[in-house]
Amino acid sequence: MNKDKLKEMLIKVQNKEIKIEEAVMKMQQLPYDDLRFAKIDTHRELRKGFPEVVLCQGKSIEQIREILKRHIQHSKTVMVTRADQNVFDAIQSEFSEIKYFEQAHIILLGKKMQTKSEKYILVITAGSSDIPVAEEAAITAEIMGNKVERLFDCGVAGVHRLLYNTEKIYNANVIIVVAGMDGALPSLVGGLVNKPVIAVPTSIGYGASFGGVAALLTMLNSCAPGISVVNIDNGFGADYQAHTIQNLNGE
Amino acid sequence: MNKDKLKEMLIKVQNKEIKIEEAVMKMQQLPYDDLRFAKIDTHRELRKGFPEVVLCQGKSIEQIREILKRHIQHSKTVMVTRADQNVFDAIQSEFSEIKYFEQAHIILLGKKMQTKSEKYILVITAGSSDIPVAEEAAITAEIMGNKVERLFDCGVAGVHRLLYNTEKIYNANVIIVVAGMDGALPSLVGGLVNKPVIAVPTSIGYGASFGGVAALLTMLNSCAPGISVVNIDNGFGADYQAHTIQNLNGE
Amino acid sequence: MNKDKLKEMLIKVQNKEIKIEEAVMKMQQLPYDDLRFAKIDTHRELRKGFPEVVLCQGKSIEQIREILKRHIQHSKTVMVTRADQNVFDAIQSEFSEIKYFEQAHIILLGKKMQTKSEKYILVITAGSSDIPVAEEAAITAEIMGNKVERLFDCGVAGVHRLLYNTEKIYNANVIIVVAGMDGALPSLVGGLVNKPVIAVPTSIGYGASFGGVAALLTMLNSCAPGISVVNIDNGFGADYQAHTIQNLNGE
Amino acid sequence: MNKDKLKEMLIKVQNKEIKIEEAVMKMQQLPYDDLRFAKIDTHRELRKGFPEVVLCQGKSIEQIREILKRHIQHSKTVMVTRADQNVFDAIQSEFSEIKYFEQAHIILLGKKMQTKSEKYILVITAGSSDIPVAEEAAITAEIMGNKVERLFDCGVAGVHRLLYNTEKIYNANVIIVVAGMDGALPSLVGGLVNKPVIAVPTSIGYGASFGGVAALLTMLNSCAPGISVVNIDNGFGADYQAHTIQNLNGE
Amino acid sequence: MNKDKLKEMLIKVQNKEIKIEEAVMKMQQLPYDDLRFAKIDTHRELRKGFPEVVLCQGKSIEQIREILKRHIQHSKTVMVTRADQNVFDAIQSEFSEIKYFEQAHIILLGKKMQTKSEKYILVITAGSSDIPVAEEAAITAEIMGNKVERLFDCGVAGVHRLLYNTEKIYNANVIIVVAGMDGALPSLVGGLVNKPVIAVPTSIGYGASFGGVAALLTMLNSCAPGISVVNIDNGFGADYQAHTIQNLNGE
Amino acid sequence: MNKDKLKEMLIKVQNKEIKIEEAVMKMQQLPYDDLRFAKIDTHRELRKGFPEVVLCQGKSIEQIREILKRHIQHSKTVMVTRADQNVFDAIQSEFSEIKYFEQAHIILLGKKMQTKSEKYILVITAGSSDIPVAEEAAITAEIMGNKVERLFDCGVAGVHRLLYNTEKIYNANVIIVVAGMDGALPSLVGGLVNKPVIAVPTSIGYGASFGGVAALLTMLNSCAPGISVVNIDNGFGADYQAHTIQNLNGE
Amino acid sequence: MNKDKLKEMLIKVQNKEIKIEEAVMKMQQLPYDDLRFAKIDTHRELRKGFPEVVLCQGKSIEQIREILKRHIQHSKTVMVTRADQNVFDAIQSEFSEIKYFEQAHIILLGKKMQTKSEKYILVITAGSSDIPVAEEAAITAEIMGNKVERLFDCGVAGVHRLLYNTEKIYNANVIIVVAGMDGALPSLVGGLVNKPVIAVPTSIGYGASFGGVAALLTMLNSCAPGISVVNIDNGFGADYQAHTIQNLNGE
Amino acid sequence: MNKDKLKEMLIKVQNKEIKIEEAVMKMQQLPYDDLRFAKIDTHRELRKGFPEVVLCQGKSIEQIREILKRHIQHSKTVMVTRADQNVFDAIQSEFSEIKYFEQAHIILLGKKMQTKSEKYILVITAGSSDIPVAEEAAITAEIMGNKVERLFDCGVAGVHRLLYNTEKIYNANVIIVVAGMDGALPSLVGGLVNKPVIAVPTSIGYGASFGGVAALLTMLNSCAPGISVVNIDNGFGADYQAHTIQNLNGE
């Protein structure tokens, strides 16, 4: 309810076109759909430019199914993250247009959003074990209507693999760098380009990698400026910011 | 040395316009200025769009002075971060155009860069103790030629202070949210807008704030998508990314 | 054994109404029932206003069964927490009045305590994945004889979901706020009301949530005053304090 | 602005007693006083039952003075926490009614609030080194209009010191237990009483006390139910919740 | 090889009772039995008063069997710790005198050592979930020939359960206190007695107990003097020191 | 008040040799001296075999002086730990028999306790920087009436320094091993002897020693059995347990 | 492409023996084989003296198979680490010359490299549970063409087991010391020899060993100089450095 | 005392060339010089190839002076690390041949050892703030008789600075890489060369660098093989291993 809507309503009150009780009620009306165990944020698309995304973790298949049924009534594009194969198998038959991206653990109900711009988001990984997180970012980006390029397995230990792809890097609009273990790659990329770099630490590694903490700390302490960081394994979040940045260009 | 430059050089070699030895040397020539204890990265401006920034921490006043003298020969704008008052006092007399931003702990040699766009970066703080970090971000942004708006002391504990400024928030191009203690503000801001939000945890707090770790973790775990995080107290880094995003728009 | 009881006993000694040996024995008599592997604290109800609660974690089904049989002889209400379905299945047939609260993982033997007051405890969650912990709190509260209201899935990322329920919040007597991930919700609630807020971090999240540590730290560092915190996932403990506060009113 | 106020306003709009523009403005009017570097939350007293408290940490003496001058115009009672002696010395002369509580590091401008109830908050410490934190809680409580009893230096290592004061403990309405080092005291107190116990870990200790973390963890893991915890050294926060509980009784 | 043995050998050399080569060989002879993957420390019994104990963790059943066969040739008492039921099942048939202590996860080959003294080691637990660790200590003590008394489920939350057993506590020679969660019990016991108290943190708990770290820190920071601590869940190690202390008395 | 005392008292009550009120009072009489900010535990000597020890940390000189004056009225031996030179200078003139042990940071009022046994406590350090903590242990031991031997600077890096002193080690009754950095020495000593070994980690080291945490963890994980550990830099606590063990022998 | 190759190419350009386009292409040609999900670093053998090693962790069997097929085309020796039995079973039939080292979890395709030197790498373990990590180091070393000696189960708790093998230790060229729990062994070895000692912490232990962190910290803080450390359980990495050192000798 | 020395001695015993008592004594003779607070390890030079190095940290100037006087009697080269200017000023006048290396915080008594080989140790730093740690390594190396090359301020953020010095890197025998903040440089160097790389994390950085922990973890998790790590800021230790490797070559 913005300023203009408020004014309009008050004029109607003044003109006695609506009753006071009705006005009070409207001004307090719930802008979400209540499922008792979940509140469907139906205004999210207006507020954030993309409908609320459903995170599977910690929800029963029953809950996921019920939430999705409600969501698909409001949006043409419903995205589900951290979905195991068995979630997909359990709900697949109940939705007409549904697709599972296996590596990314993402379910798409309905259609991808339309691509608006030729500027691409580049997703780079240090190792091949980092690919599932990178795919979570890339598929999210594509569903949200962005062009995506991928550059996988370019870690610092063999730096020429990165340096021979500099053109692809320089031409990107936003760069997502996904790395586990030492997490050193974003520093290198950040030193090369003049574009926003979003670093995603992954839980790949063992021993003193502490489930991605080592990579996370490396990235937070990067000596190359212009890098920001998201949570460990949060490919979705990295793209969400990349998408927000892409949108600025299109405006 | 890009593809075209390389081609051009090889043609000269073929035409015997330059000697082979000279060509080899040119291709290996140092693109930096060597001070023995520091290598001035004179190509940084071309590569990153802004000259290398000098971090005072861990450097002697002698070293800072020497580095700055070299820098000012290459750039019209030289920026120094984490500079205490006594650094400024010690070097002030040796530079003709020098200014100290006390709260931000920044020294500027030469001129701010020109403002290219009317789109502003908004810097929000949760408390008034977070202002020095916020000013590091804001002054950096202004020196780099960005328009900046400030919204200070709007923490979650008095949420109406934020909600009464939604217009300022909605109109920003990029938002930097600076918060210590519980670090909860970026989640709230991130839930409201469709713009990139860069969160800066500060070391403000005591006890289990662990010098900013509590705020850092809050921000990394934000349930509002579109938020990325920089190191504790790293106002400079937050703006650097914000500036990179601003630049995309201007292209 | 308080001062008055002591006096009374000494008078009996003086009057030779009881023998000295008997007096010594009485003064040392065990106020608990000894099962060798567990000491049933039969005075707990007098001392704490509610009989000892049985925590399943770390106990064999054999031990749980034996402890419960002894408990039910002393109390009309016996509550068992952190009970898996298989614990319930294994013991169900041996008790005449028994009920399992699946989401809350609580078993109730006998009857709920009587509700004394119309003032309610409000249990709020940030996400729908936090509900099991919230239900542990809510069911505990109901068994202990409190009125409970629930408000689930109201996280900071969609703040209007909370703000449209302010009436429910303002009318509560005590508020329990359950949140994982960034744990930011208690700060927001704490800033709105003038009632005790008990924050429960949950282990919901991934990566740098460190099994609830991020949410725990956020809550301990809350910039809204009047908030206290219990252990991660400790819905039971949160209610226990809420119940103690409710009891103060009733006195 | 609650439901009734809203209704009243809409009636005035209908009756054209106020103009629409004026109504819009009123509904958006800032409920805080803006000092640019701090937003004085002048509605806090209405919302939270006590005016906003000023935390000195991280603020310059200049800022503290300016904030206090504004505050004292709105409230009869202004409280300043974490104030060193030199803050008090610097501002003392500018306020007519000002007092410094040395151990508690609290400055009081104006008068304590009136005591409403005979029920007291009991503040217990484990050691004598924990007294400054306990005094922060106790003085806060007294300024907020509560009766306070103190019981200092009653740690677990000499348990009889506590057990000989059980009467004082049983008669309290709310109990604040302040302990550093092993932080074991709240568990003991929590096992004895049927009242809300708020535990405050202190940074007293050395080595593996990690600045209060050991005590904090002990308290969070207390096996006595009914205990909640606040941040390390946060005597103020402990009382704030205690005060909120006291207020419930008085209603 | 001590001073006297050395002297004796040198005399034999002087008297040509043994050859020089033989003397060199003897002085370098391996005082252990070499299994390639394990070196059986056959001198351990002389040096430490008890034969080397076999820790199952990280060893294959094949290795355990082979090690035990070698051990039983050298000692009348062979003790195996951290042995699961399946280890016992796999090796049981191959040894004539073998016994499994289920709660303690200990296998005994051969006979317990003879009890030398009436002075007993007292093993106390805070909860009934701590019993397995306590039994590891108690059974170890009994196998090593000590008298043991047990006092289980006496946590701080119901302090009278401990206080009604003070006689048993005062008469002990060494006290082992086993506690998880808040780990507060050793402080209380340590404050009561004038005997060595060895504290064993257990991994019992959840959330911020961090697998026993909370209890470990509590114990290291105990404000009662005379307490020392062993590793989390290390019942064996606690008894080993208790046994060493018992032995001093018997000398 | 033990069982016999209780019986005796009840007989007096029966015989009307004392009044009931007097009996009640006696049974409730405070066994400590109350200074308001500290409760002097005057029964500590009876209960623990040594009068309460005063820890300077966190106390003002005013408080220390007042506590000591009260203590010296009850005991012939008063010991003060963690006392800086300036504490000693401030109070020295007010006590007739006072001595400062500089390295150990201990003040002794009155006389050392009498030595009862020829069996000695051996205090070993790994490096010479660990000596202050070792001296805290050694001086505490001597004041408590124990014979002490010292063996300093015998770290694992030059293992022969230890091995050439095995006689001194074998003849000790209890061994305190003080080590910082890698904290490896107690494992080595523990592998050699059949006596209780109490390990004291020190905060000596830098970088990843984390103020003694590395040494603490090494000691807790020692693969030599019979070792227990006290807090970082807690020489006092190590001796306190050693002293308790010595006392067992003397009984 | 080194200096000489560059010169040679430029001469060809000058002599028009190759076209400029061809020269540009060659200078930019990818020195790796691109599998889309992995970039085979075919120049690794030239650059690092050993072909790229395949780490199984985080890769599907499909990916491993495809990567290995490509690798075996370029190298005579292909090494796979962290391979479970089921990986070996799945791929065994597809390669003609393949061998599985069970304890080391290593698969070898093709032949071991030839042994160049008689100088041996010595691999020592503290316990027998550390052997799998030690074997990872030893087998890697042997595959890379080094002579290896093993010395297992020589921990600090029975120091004579080590001291009776000093000859083997003194004659080694490089020493790898593998230890879990207290991780004290490398300090002892480092104090004895004048050779590089590479320490490998293992995750063997429980409780406060924190999955190898305790051993890691011990090693980093070793008071014996000349020791460096690799990641927890990283036997492969330890040997890789040892091999690099061996190679220096052979040059 | 090795095997040959032992044989020789036994022959003398047999021949009665020395008395048995003398032989026993010789075999037990102390191979160190005892200063009571420090044991001078006079055999260290024989055992480790370099005399014991004196670490100033935690020692008084009195102790340092006394230790050095004793050392200089045994060695021509005495090295003192972590020495502040004031240590040097206090002892300078008492030694004839003494020199202070200011950046490295090293004092040299006597002469550097003779350089044996032309192969050099290369010391690289990421930033100019890392130089003091690098100088500790470099000066140590030079005193120990090694040739040293330096390459400072070559961090990953400006990767060309490193790549333009590849010749210097390829020709080194051992490489020490010193880096704070993100600690990413060793991974990059390790990916380029076939030489042992020793990584030194520094405490340079702020916020989530946690005093060098971030850099330490990055290095331990390096995805480039052949890298080992020493403690934070331990330039001395890094060189010590480099020197040991250099020595292997010279044999």
B49-89: pLDDT as tens digits: 677 788 888 888 998 999 899 888 878 899 999 999 999 99
CB D153 within 8 A of CB F37: yes
8 Å CB contact of A14 and D24:
no
Please tell me which residue, A90 or E48, carries the higher pLDDT value.
A90
Which CA distances in Å does F106 have to D242, E227, G57?
Answer: 40, 20, 56
Percent share of chain A, pLDDT over 90: 55
In DSSP terms, which residues pair with B77 in a beta bridge?
B110
- pLDDT of A38 reads 62
Mean pLDDT, chain F, as a whole number? 86
CB E199 within 8 A of CB E220: no
Residue H145 lies in domain: 120-246
Residues of E in contact with C44 (CB under 8 A): 158
Mean pLDDT value across residues A83-101: 95
* Contacting partners of chain G (3+ CB pairs under 8 A): A, B, E, F, H
Nearest CA in chain D to A28: D3
Residues G185 and G74 in one domain: no
User: Where is the domain boundary, A110, A131, A162?
Assistant: A110
State the Cα angle at F73 between F71 and F74, rounded to 5°. 70
User: CA torsion angle for G218, G223, G226, G228 (degrees, to 10)?
Assistant: 20
Length of chain G: 251
G87-133: pLDDT as tens digits: 999 999 999 999 999 999 999 999 999 888 889 999 999 998 999 99
**Single-letter residue type at A89:** D
- pLDDT of B24 reads 63
Nearest CA in chain D to E126: D223
Q: Chain H within 8 Å of B59 (Cβ-Cβ)?
A: yes
- pLDDT of E243 reads 94
Token couple for A124: 């780079």
Residues of D in contact with F55 (CB under 8 A): 129
Q: Chain G within 8 Å of E170 (Cβ-Cβ)?
A: no
Mean pLDDT value across residues H41-62: 73
Residue with tokens 């023998």: C19
End-to-end CA distance of chain E: 23
Length of chain H: 251
Is it the case that residue B41 has pLDDT exceeding 80? no
- pLDDT of G90 reads 95
Q: Chain H within 8 Å of E5 (Cβ-Cβ)?
A: no
The phi and psi torsions of C172 (rounded to 5 degrees) equal: -70, 155
Residues G183 and G230 in one domain: yes
User: Where is the domain boundary, C92, C110, C128?
Assistant: C110
Which CA distances in Å does F189 have to D212, F135, F204?
Answer: 32, 19, 20
8 Å CB contact of H10 and E6:
no
- pLDDT of E38 reads 61
Stated as kind and residue range, the H or E segment containing G124 is strand G120-125
Residues H146 and H206 in one domain: yes
A32-59: pLDDT as tens digits: 555 556 665 555 565 566 777 888 888 8
Is it the case that residue C230 has pLDDT exceeding 90? yes
Strands C120-125 and C147-151: parallel
Percent share of chain B, pLDDT over 70: 86
Chains H and F touch (3+ CB pairs under 8 A): yes
8 Å CB contact of A129 and G59:
yes
- Looking at the complex, report in whole angstroms how far the Cα of residue E196 sits from the nearest Cα belonging to chain F: 6
Query: Residue F155 falls within a domain, yes or no?
Result: yes
Nearest to G127 by CA among E67, E243, E244: E67
Which has the minimum average pLDDT: B191-205, D193-207, E43-57, G78-92? Answer: E43-57
Mean pLDDT value across residues F215-236: 94
Residues A74 and A179 in one domain: no
F74-95: pLDDT as tens digits: 788 999 999 999 999 999 999 9
Nearest to C200 by CA among C208, C188, C192, C212: C212
- pLDDT of D2 reads 44
CB E194 within 8 A of CB F243: no
**Single-letter residue type at H207:** G
Residues C8 and C124 in one domain: no
Mean pLDDT value across residues F197-224: 94
From the list D182, D188, D190, the residue facing E221 with the nearest CB is: D182
Residues D233 and D133 in one domain: yes
Q: H30 pLDDT band (50/70/90 cuts)?
A: very low
Instruction: Please give the Cα distance from B210 to B215 (Å, whole number).
Output: 9
Query: Residue G156 falls within a domain, yes or no?
Result: yes
Query: Residue H8 falls within a domain, yes or no?
Result: yes
Which has the minimum average pLDDT: D228-237, F107-116, G4-13? Answer: G4-13
Instruction: Please give the Cα distance from C135 to C153 (Å, whole number).
Output: 13
Instruction: Choose the most confident range, by mean pLDDT, from B4-13, B208-217, C3-12.
Output: B208-217
Nearest CA in chain E to D203: E221
Query: In total, how many domains does chain C have?
Result: 3
Residues G236 and G167 in one domain: yes
Residues of B in contact with G5 (CB under 8 A): none
Percent share of chain F, pLDDT over 70: 86
User: Where is the domain boundary, E110, E140, E175?
Assistant: E110
Nearest CA in chain B to C201: B218
Residues D21 and D79 in one domain: no
Instruction: Please give the Cα distance from G152 to G167 (Å, whole number).
Output: 15
Please tell me which residue, D14 or G217, carries the higher pLDDT value.
G217
8 Å CB contact of C226 and D216:
no
Task: Provide the H-helix boundaries in D56-110.
Answer: 61-74, 85-91
8 Å CB contact of G249 and H247:
no
Nearest CA in chain F to G205: F221
Nearest to A96 by CA among A84, A81, A78: A78
From the list A10, A11, A24, the residue facing D3 with the nearest CB is: A24
Q: G43 pLDDT band (50/70/90 cuts)?
A: low
Q: Chain C within 8 Å of B214 (Cβ-Cβ)?
A: yes
The phi and psi torsions of F119 (rounded to 5 degrees) equal: -70, 135
Residues F88 and F178 in one domain: no
Q: Chain D within 8 Å of E126 (Cβ-Cβ)?
A: yes
Mean pLDDT value across residues H204-225: 93
Please tell me which residue, C225 or G143, carries the higher pLDDT value.
G143
Instruction: Please give the Cα distance from D179 to D96 (Å, whole number).
Output: 36
Q: Chain H within 8 Å of F183 (Cβ-Cβ)?
A: no
Cβ–Cβ contacts within 10 Å for residue F96, how many? Answer: 8
Residues D240 and D138 in one domain: yes
Residues of H in contact with A155 (CB under 8 A): 223
Q: What is the CA radius of gyration of chain C?
A: 21
8 Å CB contact of A3 and D27:
no
Q: B38 pLDDT band (50/70/90 cuts)?
A: low
Residue with tokens 């005892």: H34
Q: Chain B within 8 Å of H154 (Cβ-Cβ)?
A: yes
In DSSP terms, which residues pair with D120 in a beta bridge?
D147
Is it the case that residue C64 has pLDDT exceeding 60? yes
Q: A135 pLDDT band (50/70/90 cuts)?
A: very high
Query: Residue E126 falls within a domain, yes or no?
Result: yes
D contact test, residue of B202, B206, B209 with most D CBs within 10 A:
B206
Which CATH number is A133's domain given? 3.40.50.1970
Query: Residue A115 falls within a domain, yes or no?
Result: no
Query: Residue B115 falls within a domain, yes or no?
Result: no
CB C186 within 8 A of CB C124: no
Is it the case that residue G82 has pLDDT exceeding 50? yes
Is it the case that residue C83 has pLDDT exceeding 80? yes
- Looking at the complex, report in whole angstroms how far the Cα of residue F232 sits from the nearest Cα belonging to chain E: 8
Instruction: Please give the Cα distance from F59 to F62 (Å, whole number).
Output: 8
H157-189: pLDDT as tens digits: 777 778 778 788 889 999 999 999 999 999 999
- pLDDT of G1 reads 41
Alpha-carbon A85 to chain mean position: 20
Task: Provide the H-helix boundaries in chain E.
Answer: 3-14, 20-28, 44-48, 61-74, 85-91, 131-143, 160-163, 166-170, 185-192, 213-220, 235-250
CB A194 within 8 A of CB B51: no
Which CA distances in Å does A82 have to A88, A107, B73, B77, C205?
Answer: 11, 9, 53, 47, 12
Is it the case that residue H53 has pLDDT exceeding 90? no
Q: Chain A within 8 Å of G161 (Cβ-Cβ)?
A: no
Q: What is the pLDDT along chain D (251 residues), one digit of tens a residue?
A: 445 566 777 788 888 888 877 776 555 444 455 555 666 655 555 556 677 788 888 888 998 999 899 888 878 899 999 999 999 999 999 999 999 999 999 999 999 998 888 899 999 999 989 999 999 999 999 999 999 999 999 888 877 778 778 788 889 999 999 999 999 999 999 988 889 999 999 999 999 999 999 999 999 999 888 899 999 999 999 999 999 999 885 54
Which CA distances in Å does H139 have to G179, H80, H128, H132, H144?
Answer: 32, 11, 17, 10, 8
CB D206 within 8 A of CB F57: yes
- Give the pTM: 0.86
Residues G154 and G192 in one domain: yes
DSSP letters, D82-118, are S--HHHHHHHGGG-SSEEEETTTTEEEEE-PPPP--S
- Looking at the complex, report in whole angstroms how far the Cα of residue A244 sits from the nearest Cα belonging to chain B: 6
Instruction: Please give the Cα distance from F40 to D113 (Å, whole number).
Output: 35
From the list E126, E187, E192, the residue facing D223 with the nearest CB is: E126
From the list A193, A216, A245, the residue facing B196 with the nearest CB is: A245
DSSP letters, A217-234, are HHHHT-SSSSEEE--TT-
Chains C and H touch (3+ CB pairs under 8 A): no
8 Å CB contact of F244 and E173:
no
Mean pLDDT value across residues G184-197: 91
8 Å CB contact of C237 and D226:
yes
- Looking at the complex, report in whole angstroms how far the Cα of residue A8 sits from the nearest Cα belonging to chain D: 10
Mean pLDDT value across residues A96-123: 93
Instruction: Please give the Cα distance from C200 to G131 (Å, whole number).
Output: 44
Residues of H in contact with B67 (CB under 8 A): 128
Mean pLDDT value across residues F208-212: 93
Q: F33 pLDDT band (50/70/90 cuts)?
A: low
Mean pLDDT value across residues C206-217: 94
- pLDDT of F52 reads 75
B150-197: pLDDT as tens digits: 999 988 877 777 877 878 888 999 999 999 999 999 999 998 888 999
* Contacting partners of chain H (3+ CB pairs under 8 A): A, B, E, F, G
Which CA distances in Å does D168 have to D121, D148, D163, D224?
Answer: 10, 11, 10, 20
From the list A128, A153, A207, the residue facing G233 with the nearest CB is: A207
Q: Chain E within 8 Å of H5 (Cβ-Cβ)?
A: no
E141-183: pLDDT as tens digits: 999 999 999 999 988 887 777 877 878 888 999 999 999 999 9
State the Cα angle at B157 between B155 and B159, rounded to 5°. 70
Mean pLDDT value across residues E100-112: 95
Query: Residue B131 falls within a domain, yes or no?
Result: yes
CB G212 within 8 A of CB A207: yes
* Contacting partners of chain D (3+ CB pairs under 8 A): A, B, C, E, F
Is it the case that residue H74 has pLDDT exceeding 60? yes
Mean pLDDT value across residues E82-103: 95
Please tell me which residue, D245 or E76, carries the higher pLDDT value.
D245
Token couple for B136: 């590091």
Residues D169 and D239 in one domain: yes
Instruction: Please give the Cα distance from A116 to A132 (Å, whole number).
Output: 26
Instruction: Please give the Cα distance from F135 to F140 (Å, whole number).
Output: 8
Token couple for G183: 């991780």
Query: Residue F115 falls within a domain, yes or no?
Result: no
